[in-house]
């Protein structure tokens, strides 16, 4: 699974001005092993929202999650130029 995110995800602040942080993101992702990309996105956004507890945010929140299925041959190792 590939997860890409902007700092707006990890820098969500709560009412005590604490950041959600990379540690919380890593812990959450570690518990998402069998989930689909959509489920992972929903889990992250739900946790971030709960942490912020209605506190307005100052940055965009961008999150991309991709999974390569077993047996999928997407042409890995094929050069892009000929």
For residue range 27-74, what is the model confidence (pLDDT) as tens digits? 999 999 889 999 999 999 999 999 999 998 889 999 999 988 777 665
Domain boundaries along the sequence of the chain: 2-66
**Strand pairing category for 2-5 and 63-66:** antiparallel
Taking the C-alpha atoms of residue 50 and residue 53, their distance in angstroms, rounded to an integer, is 5
The pLDDT value recorded for residue 69 is 75
DSSP annotation of 19: B
């Amino acid at each position: 699974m590939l997860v890409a995110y902007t700092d707006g995800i990890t820098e969500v602040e709560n009412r005590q001005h604490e950041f959600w942080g990379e540690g919380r993101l890593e812990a959450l992702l570690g518990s998402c092993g069998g989930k689909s990309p959509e489920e992972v996105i929903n889990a992250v956004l739900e946790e971030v929202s709960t942490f912020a507890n209605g506190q307005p945010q100052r940055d965009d929140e961008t999150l991309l999650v991709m999974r390569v299925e077993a047996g999928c041959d997407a042409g890995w190792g094929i050069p892009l130029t000929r």
